[in-house]
Every structure is written in structure tokens, then in C-alpha cells.
Chain A
Amino acid sequence: MTTSIHRTGSRRLTDGLESAAATLLPEGICRTFRVMPYASQDGEVLVAAADADDEITLQVVSERIDAPVVLVRHTANEIVAAIDETYPPVEDELETVEERRTRVQMAQMLTRSGLITNEQLQDAMLQHARSGDALGEILVANSAISEDILVAALSEIHQMQRVGLRDFTPDMEVARRLPEPIAQRHQVLPVADADGTLLVAVQRPMDAELLEEVEEAVQQPVRQLLANRVDLDELIQKVHGDHYSELATSFLMENAPEISAHKVFSTGQKVVGIGFLVLVAVFMVVSPMNTLIALVGLASAIYLVVSVYKFRLTLRALGTHLEIEATPEEIAALDERTLPIYTILVPLYKEGNIVKRLVRDMNALDYPRTRLDVKLLCEEDDVETIDMIKSMELPPHFHCVVVPDSLPKTKPKACNFGLQVARGKYCVIFDAEDRPDPDQLKKAIIAFRQTADNVACVQGKLNHFNQDQNLLTAWFANEYSMHFELVLPAMGAAEQPIPLGGTSNHFKTSILRELGAWDPFNVTEDADLGIRLHREGYRTAMIDSTTLEEANSSVPNWIRQRSRWNKGYYQTWLVHMRNPIGLIAKIGLKDFISFNLTMGSAYVLLMNPIFWSLTTLFVFTQASFIQALFPGLVFYVASAMLFVGNFVFIYLNLAGSLQRGEFGITRTALLSPLYWGLMSWAAWKGFLQLFTNPFYWEKTEHGLDEEEVH
């Protein structure tokens, strides 16, 4: 109902507050706009307003009350008292007098100078009402004004000098006087020493307590200079980048070498591996047929147990809904004032072409932008992407983080670098081409709140937005549907060690740091991290939220990506199996078996071509030596796998897509065996690369789905 008038001779707040009317507006709106609905009279709702002439106030109130509204002028004190009566104030959540004064001044300054429209202000005020964040920062995050304008306005309001840092060359001795943790945490950096007074660039005026902390740390008086947040952030990275880079590369290797993949094979593994090969060679000479039968039997047994394990998991997931769910009502009920800062790490390499799309998708997240900390992680030598990001003049919740050029040049190293400058209580990784469900961050927060304290990670589901592009992308979508709709939810529900997916894994930042984050030498650092979390007693839960990625649509590109994944699985298995007894002692026998069966699927892919060749050869030649390789029980197991196992896996691919509601690609799942051929090809490539080039990162090219129009 939008009919609204305002007058002064009506019934007043002092005549009494009707409880039914009092809750017609949410608390945030009441406090931000200083309004309070207090009575219904002749079909109209009387709303007390401090500024009854304000058009924005009138519009905001009218849009939210489903009846004609009358704004009745009251004093601010009267209104605040009524609000406090209706919504008893929580100390930490209330806007201070100083903050309110700054907000009002900021709004007046920007509107009077014509820098923002009434519409932009109204939108920002509403966001402020929900989140309590500073009006200026909201306006910057919404790209209504630039950070420079905000800094200028704040400088005016706080009567504080500004400093431009865009082309500033820091004096490293001065800049490093303030310890890095304080500089990073509070975004403060010394820029000059003027006669014993340290000039520090700050993003916002420091309060007395923080100022004291800084002065104590640098042991000299400090004067604050307001700086552009983007420039300041880049300067801090420049000053401390080498330190971050060193930690990103070597922290895990130096602090927990036993679980770092910097060495591919341990001495013990080399001895066992070579010993096994020698033994097989000796037996092959002594009794070749029996040795081959034993190898076929062993391979069949591995096939069988891996398949049964996977089948059991998927059946369990088919029977019930195992992910942690957050209903739309629960999401709507989240108080945005309580939302923490959320860091989003986005590793980029030569992906300047999709940065625009990435920014759009990050901005589409249903989360206050002022509480987002998006780190666009670029490699130093990727000038094209860095230039693209800079040219876009993104608001300060986007940070271009430049990772110094050093080896290994891997995604996990970039993420480790980004983690050190992360400000969020939680953090998540998205790939450049990812399109997360807009409510995913809120769902993750609800999941963290609902689950036990030892849940350190919640994994979102992954799938593809270009599944209809070609047969390969449809197969990829079938496979992901099975993995993320069935296998991982079942593993999560059973609290088994989960090999994390490449993106959309949300972490408690502090725990991630404590664990040493990602292993920069592991090319599936995500899978490895999942196992390491489990080793330390942490658990991973699945949430019912999907991130859409770009499925590889070209076979060579797909093979590159998949060979890296397989190589990483082998690496991960080798790392954690350096001391099997220790692993059992740490995670228990059940989870030890689960880990081996999960990783075993990568080895099954290696065996597939051998068995397919034998079957094909037998069908065409009926060769008796092949028949002799499958005596009695081995034959039964192999037959079961051939006729039942293969179909079951085809069907589970199909079931995953059905479970996800992707009915259009179910028929392609029936052709999955052809896809398995590609998977085996990639597995062999990855396996061989494990010996020849173990740390090489096979880069996946993104953006192949985008249609070029001329």
C-alpha cells in the first residue's frame, strides 16, 4: 500500500504503542530511518518519524507496510525509546552516536554534492538497516561512488589528511617497522618517518585502542593518513610479499615434511615397490601362468571391493537425503549483522577473459558485499590478467593479490598466499569460471552453526553449466552428478575422509591456517587437504548448494585436466601411505579402508584398458590362454564385474543426474563406457607423469563454452 500522507495533529506515541503495529517494520529499518509504527487508526497506520518530510523515509516505510501510512513527526528521543521498548537493544549491535553522526553527514555530503542519487542512497540505507555496515562502504561496494570519493569524504568528516599510494615506492625499513600480523589485520602501513613521528597509512581512522596498539608495536608516536583501501592493500602485499611467498611454498614442507608431497616416493615405498616388481619378475620366470593368474585375481579383487564400496555409498545416498540442508526460511532468518567477513579465494592464471563474468557472479552472491573479501589470486607473470583486473577499477571488496613468481607455480601455492592476507572468519575457494548458488555462503554459515565444532569444512556440490554443449560435457555432468549428489554426501554422512572437490570448499580460516593449508607440491591439493583434515580429527560435511563450473568441452583439454587429477590422487595416496600403521592409528581401520578404496578408484582406471583388451581379444579369438587366466572364483568375480559391475556404474552415473533433476542428460549416461576410456587414457598419462614430471600443473583452459558473436 503506497498511499502516504503526513500530518501533525494525529494520535501520538505518548498515547500508547499498539503491539500489533509496533512490529510492522523490522528493527534495522526503525533504527536507521528513526521511524516507529505505533497505532492503526481508521484503516491507516500511524508511524512516528523524526524526519516526516524525508521522501526516502516515506517511500521505505510505505513499501513495507501493507496499509495507508501516515508519518507523524516525533522527536528522535521519543522514537528511540519506543524502538528500544519494542526491540530491546543488544549492546554490540547498536550504532553509536558517533557512527550515526558520520553516516548522516556522509549521506548529506554525497547527496548535496550530487555524487549519489536518492535511489542509490535509499538502497544503501536499506542495506545498512540490514547489516549495520558503514554507509560509505556500502556505497563503494555497490559502485555508487569510488573509493577515492569515500576517502575524501571521510577525510573531510574526520578532518584527517589523505595520502595517495598508487605509485608510491615504500621505504622497506620504515614499512616493516610495524609487524606484519598487525599491518595485515588492521590494514595499517608505515609510509614515512617525519621527525620521530611515524606516518601510517590507514584504511579508516583508528580508534584509540588500536592506535595505542600500533604505537606500542612501533615504539614511537604515530600519525594517521587516510588511504585508498585498494592501494593500501596492494602496498602491504608489496612490502610483505616475499614473506608470504616463502610461507606459501615451504610452511608444510618444513613443519610437517612427512605429509608433504615435495617428495613423491619415500624410501620405504621405493623398497616395497621395487621389491614387488622383482618378486613378480622372478615368479614370471618360474611360473608365468600362475603368476599372471595371481595378478589377474588381485586386480579382480581390487575391482570388486572398490566397486562394492562405491555402490554401497551411492545406494545409501539414493535411500535418503544426506546433505545438510538450509531452508529458504532459515536463510531469510539470518541476521546479517551477525554475518562474519567471508574470504573468497579465486586463483586465476591467464584468465583475463573471464574476469568480468567472475566479478558478476561474485557480486550475485547473497551476502553483504561489505563483508566479502574476494581475493583474485594472480601470478606475477600473468600481466594480462592483472591488467584486466586493474582496468576494471573494482570496488575494494575485490583484492588483486599478486603472487610473486617462484616454483612450484601451482594453484595451492597461490591459495596459500591468498590465505595469509585473508580477513574472513570463513574462506572458500572458487575457480574463475564458477557460478555458485547465490545463497551458498549463507548456507555454509548455517551448516557451520548446525554441525559439531570439529566440522572444519563444508563442501558444496559441483556441477556444470555447459552440460548441453557436447557429449563430453554431458558425460562430465553425469559423472559429477554421481560424485557430488551420491558419493560425497554418503561419505560425509558416514564421517569418512572426503577428498575435497576443487572448489566450493568452505573452511574455518583459523583451522586451515593451523593445518598449514594446501600442499603446494600436490596437484590435487584439495583431495589431499580433505584427508589431512580428517587425520587431525576434523570432519567435512556436504551442503545442499551447487556451484556450476565450466565442463571441459575439448578432449585434449579434458585429458590434461583429468591427468592432473589422477596424478594428484596417486600423490595423495603415496603421501598418506608412507606410514600405513601410523595412518591406521590416527584415523582408525574403517576410515583407513575407506581412504584406500576411495583412492583405489584411480588405480582401477589404470587396470581398465588391460581387462577391456583381454575381453575383446577373447571375444574375437576365443584364445585359450585368456580363458586360463580366469579360473573358478576369479572368473566369477570378473564376470560379475563385467556384467553387473559395469552396468551398475553406468546406472549410477544416470542416477546422479536424475537425483539432480538433470533429465536431459540421462540418456548420455548410457554411453558412459566410452567416457571411461577417456578416463583411463588420462589416468595413464597422469601415472606416467608421476615419474617424469610429478609437480607439473597441467593447466585447464577455461572460457571454451562462451559463444563468440561478431
Chain B
Amino acid sequence: MSATVQPAIVTNAARLAGIVQAVGRRSLDVPRRRWESVLVLAVTTIVYSWFGFRVVAQQHVVSYEVLDRLNRALMIWHNNPAKLSAIGFDYPPLQTLLVSPLAIYRFGVDFLAVIPVASAFFAGLLMMFLNTMMRRTGVPAMLRIGGLAALGLNPLFALYASTGGPLMMWLAFLLASVGAVYAWYITADVRFVMIGGLGFAVAGLAGYTTLMYFLLAAIGIGAILAHLGADGDEVEGTMVGFAAPAIYVVALWTGFNLLLLKNPIHWITSAAPTSDAIEQFTVLGLLRWTGELVLYGAPLAIVVLPALFFVGLSKNNPFAVLLGLMLTLSVLTPAMTVLLGLTDSPMAMENAVPILVMSVIGALWLARSAGEGVTAISGLVVLALVASIPWTFQGMRTYKYQALEMVFTDAVLTGESQEGATTRGGQTVALDPSLEMGQFIQDLDVPEGAVLTDNAATYAVMLFSGEPELFLDRIDQSDGPWLEAARDPAASDVDWLLVTTDGDDLLTEQYSEVGFEGLTLYHENDEYRLYSVPEGFTGLTTVGS
């Protein structure tokens, strides 16, 4: 005797009854306003592109690291052979990869138009996401315009929005990710968890610090769900959905590092200082510079940070606590990277930009939490942002640890080229030698792969030549064949050797014993020397024989 158990019908509504998040129904989100988003993106991109072109191409305020990334992007398409591996492992891969479409056509690369356009585009995305976040907050249109303008005119933000592609790219994705979590908290719509998860994964490949924010967000989402009474399945499922993308990219990137560099954590340590010349900090010193960083770069954080914790703890507002922790993370990150030995530019002023952006997000949440006071609080935020403009401008001229901040302010004040100027860190702004040597090689009409060089040192010349295929670099066929070519250039069809005048390149290192005897110095400027390889040149093949 057997009987069949008839399962009960569970209706969709009954099935979803115990779920905390909004699934299977329309969430109460602000209506989409595509035209407004496109407008913000377009205006920001155009303004910063114009401003950036002036600053970068005409006033030569540009970071060498940015040039390196752009050269790698160019090599992805135009090297001989064209290789995806040109993106390398020294920087987060998206910093190069996402700029690479702009390098498909060489036009615009060798006269530096691409850098401001890329920076401006990602700054535009950031502004677009911020605008949407302000709409969700309930900030009136005029204050939204004021807020975006006040942030956009902040000189530190403007410097990186117009010249610093990688930072803006990372921040845009970080803001999108945090913005998705922000939207999730407001609407309870599970789709924002997924968008946030994907956003953090992308942001993670554009800036590794993202992973710390991701961890905080993951813990925050789990805790908030549990706090709201979600069951174990819902918490676990949501966590899987949120975390899977970021965990995948970390695992993938770690795998690549292991497979190709035999060091799975190279990506974490690649920015560690390579020399002992770097300044050492005491804990007290780190605290002091952290304070100055916040004071000059993002003074808004001084008010927003304690306010977030106060609102969060006193008014049962867990999202305020989460944003408070994220802001704290952004404040402590510069000091932590110093303590862990993970940065070669300690306490740099660019670290203030993420603090500034996180402060703005925190301030928006405070405004939203104020209910009917949203307009008043957002008005105060805009005023604070406006007031901080001259203050930050002055800080950029005096803060000790910086890259091109002071040079940038000089460029803004004088309107003149900064070629030859000295930064606060003692480096000289010198783009002309690279431009000149790049142009010279381009005019030489050399065959592909005829110029042997260490691309890690001469990337700017390669970039400005616009033709990376002319160079036999360390990416073409990896270091082994390159070293062989250095040993016997003629055997590798090399006609020229390009080295730096200060000798800080691998090719000069190879010839350190014998010097460049037997080679003809064909062309030279302040930064580079170009040797021609005469017939019968035996290179290093006779050394030690």
C-alpha cells in the first residue's frame, strides 16, 4: 500500500512573505531621469576635458605614472606583437584596460589629449552617480547643481579630474558601488545588492583599496539584514550575490600573479617602496599628517565623521554607522599603507580625494536622515564645500607630501607652462625631452623593433613617438629575449639603443661594466640618449669571454 504525498501549493505572495528585501515587486525608488544623468556626464566631461587639455598638454602638469599607463594602453593595440599582457601587474589592470579604447587610434595619444579626456570622462561618471545619489537623498535641483559645482571647483578634485585618470576611474566605480548600497538601504531592492557587488568587483580592479570598502560593505549588509530580521537563507544568499564578483576578481588576479610572476600577492605589494630612501614615519607623525590631510584636503570630514556615528548610534541608523566606518577607512588608509609598507608615495595629498568624496556621501546620508531638514542640511553641505575651495587651494601649496598639487596651483594662478618647475617633493617637471625624443625617433623612420629600450624607464618617449612597435621592449617577448637582444643587439636586428641619461634603466645597467663603447651617440637631450648600433657591434657577447 502506498500513497502519494501531495505538496501544498505555495503562492508567490506567500513564498515572499517572510523576506525582508523587496523582491518581485517594484521598489520605491526615484524615477529614472536619463536625460539628467547624460547632461551631468556630458557637461562634466566637456568642462574637464577642456580644462585638462590646457593643464596637461599646454602647461605640462601631468604625472609620469599616468603616462606609463597610457603607453601600456597604446601597446595593447600597437605593439609588435600587440599583447594584452602589456597592462602588466604593477597597476590595477583596469587603470590601463579601460583607457585602452582611447588608444585604438593613435590620434590624440602622442599630444596628450587622451589623458584629460579619460580623466574627465570618469570624473563625469562620478558626478553622474553623485547626482543620482543626491536625487535619492531628496536634495532639490538647485542645491544639486550647487553641490556638483562646489565639488567640481574644489582644486584638489579638479586636479585629478583633469589629469589623473586612474584615481578618477577608481573613485567613479567606488562611488557607484557605495551608491548602489545606499540605494539598497533606501529601497530594500535586492537588485542594488547585485549592482553594488558588480560595482565593487570592477572598482577592485581599478584600485585595490576598494577591497577594504567591499569588506565593510559586506559586513554592513549582512548585519543590517540580520538586524531587520532576515532569515539565514536570505542573509547567505544576499551575501553570495554581493560578494561573488569581488571574490572572483581577487581570485582571478591572484591566480594570474601566481601563474605568471610566481608570486600570488605581487599585486598587493607591487606599490611597495623599492629603495630605502623613502621617509620613515612615527605613529605620532602619521597621526599628524593624517590630520593635515583631512584638514586641508577634506575638512568636511571633520564634521561629517562624528555626526555619522552620533546619528547612527543614537537614532538606530545602521547605515550611518556603515558610512561612518567607510569614511574612517578612507581617513586611515594613507597611514595604514605606510605602516604596512605598501606605498612608495606615503601620505600623498591625492589620498584626500577619496576622503572628500566619502565625506560628501556621508553628508548626504545625514541630510536624508534629517527628514524634513534635508534641504537645510544639504544647503549647509554645499556652503561647506564652497568655503573649503580656497582653503584646500592654499593647502595644496603648503602640504608637504604631494605630487603635482603645488605645480597645478601655479599653473592655475599664472596660466603658464610649468615645464622646468620644481614640485614640493623636489622633482622637476620635464615633458619636453620625452616629447622631443619621441618625435625624433618617429621622424627617423626606423623599422619595427629596431630601437632597444627598457620601457619601464622610457615609456614617455615610446608614448610620444606614437609608435611602440618601433621599440624592442621588455613586453614584446618578455625579459628573456630582451636580455638576449641587449647582449647582442645586432643578432636581434636592433639598430638603436635608447637609454636614460641618469642611468636608471635596465639597459644601462646591462652595459654598466663596458659602458656604451663601440656605439655611436646619435642623439641626446636632458633625459635620454639614443645610440646607433654600428655594423659588427658585438655588444656584450665578448664580455667575460
Contact = CB atoms under 8 A, between A and B. Distances in A.
Interface string B1-33: 111111101111101100101011111000010
A651 B244 contact: yes
Contact of A709 (B5, B27, B193, B236): B5
B81 interface: yes
Given A654-B240, A663-B234, A663-B235, 12 more contacts: A361-B9, A651-B194, A651-B244, A658-B241, A661-B190, A663-B233, A663-B236, A664-B237, A666-B241, A670-B240, A670-B244, A706-B4
B224 interface: no
A658 B23 contact: yes
Interface in A349-369: 353, 356-357, 360-361, 364
A654 B23 CA distance: 14
27 contacts: A364-B9, A437-B11, A437-B12, A438-B9, A545-B12, A546-B12, A643-B252, A650-B244, A654-B241, A654-B244, A655-B191, A655-B194, A659-B24, A659-B190, A659-B191, A661-B21, A661-B23, A661-B24, A663-B237, A663-B238, A667-B237, A670-B244, A706-B5, A706-B7, A707-B4, A708-B4, A709-B5
Contacts of B7: 465, 705-706
Given A647-B248, A661-B23, A636 B84 contact: yes
A361 B237 CA distance: 30
B195 to A, nearest CB: 7
A435 interface: yes
- List the 7 closest A-B pairs by CB distance, nearest first: A663-B237, A661-B23, A666-B237, A664-B233, A321-B26, A666-B240, A663-B233
A438 B11 CA distance: 7
Contact of B195 (A318, A465, A667, A706): A318
A144 B248 CA distance: 60
Contacts of A705: 7
Interface string B188-202: 001101110010000
A658 B198 contact: no
Contacts, number: 112
A659 B23 contact: yes
Contact of A655 (B4, B15, B25, B241): B241
A632 interface: yes
A707 B5 contact: yes
Nearest to A662: B237
A486 to B, nearest CB: 10
A114 to B, nearest CB: 31
A390 interface: no
B92 interface: no
A621 B264 CA distance: 22
Contacts of B430: none
Interface string A637-665: 00100010001001100110111111111
Nearest to A547: B12
Nearest to B230: A663
Interface in B212-245: 233-238, 240-241, 244-245
B81 A632 contact: yes
A546 B25 CA distance: 13
Interface of B: 1-7, 9-13, 15-16, 19, 21, 23-27, 32, 81-82, 84, 190-191, 193-195, 198, 233-238, 240-241, 244-245, 248, 252
A708 B194 contact: no
A681 to B, nearest CB: 26
Nearest to A655: B194
Interface in A401-456: 435, 437-439
B84 A639 contact: yes
A651 B198 contact: yes
A319 B241 contact: no
Interface string A217-255: 000000000000000000000000000000000000000
Contacts of B6: 356-357, 360, 706
Nearest to B3: A709
A467 to B, nearest CB: 11
Contacts of B1: 710
Nearest to A640: B84
B299 to A, nearest CB: 36
A325 interface: yes
A708 B2 CA distance: 7
A253 to B, nearest CB: 39
Nearest to A708: B2
Given A364-B9, A654-B244, A670-B244, A710 B2 contact: yes
A54 B297 CA distance: 84
A660 B248 contact: no
A325 B25 CA distance: 8
B301 to A, nearest CB: 32
Contacts of B241: 654-655, 658, 666
Given A632-B81, A661-B23, A651 B245 contact: yes
A73 B419 CA distance: 104
A544 interface: yes
A544 B2 contact: no
A643 to B, nearest CB: 6
Interface string A367-407: 00000000000000000000000000000000000000000
**Best-surrounded residue of A321, A356, A635 (most CB of chain B within 10 A):** A321
Interface in A541-596: 544-546, 548
A251 B238 CA distance: 51
Nearest to A436: B9
Contacts of B198: 651
Interface string A73-100: 0000000000000000000000000000
Contact of A657 (B25, B237, B245): B237
B437 to A, nearest CB: 29
A338 interface: no
Contact of B236 (A357, A360, A661, A667): A667
Contacts of A357: 6
A635 B4 CA distance: 55
A253 B114 CA distance: 60
A658 B233 contact: no
B194 A318 contact: yes
A353 B9 contact: no
A320 interface: yes
B228 to A, nearest CB: 14
A356 B7 CA distance: 12
Contacts of A328: 13
Nearest to A465: B7
A706 B248 CA distance: 37
A244 B460 CA distance: 80
B46 to A, nearest CB: 26
Contacts of B236: 663, 666-667
A356 B25 CA distance: 32
Contact of A661 (B19, B27, B32, B240): B19
A658 B2 contact: no
Contacts of B5: 706-707, 709
Nearest to B18: A661
Contacts of A707: 4-5
A361 B10 CA distance: 11
Contacts of B4: 353, 356, 706-709
Contact of A660 (B23, B27, B244): B23
A204 to B, nearest CB: 32
A647 B245 contact: yes
A667 B240 contact: yes
A321 B25 contact: yes
Nearest to A466: B7
B98 to A, nearest CB: 13
A654 B236 CA distance: 13
Q: Which of B2, B9, B27, B193 has the most CB of A within 10 A?
A: B9
Contacts of A654: 240-241, 244
Interface in A309-334: 318-321, 325, 328
Contacts of B9: 360-361, 364, 435, 438
A664 B252 CA distance: 26
Contacts of B23: 658-661
B194 A658 contact: yes
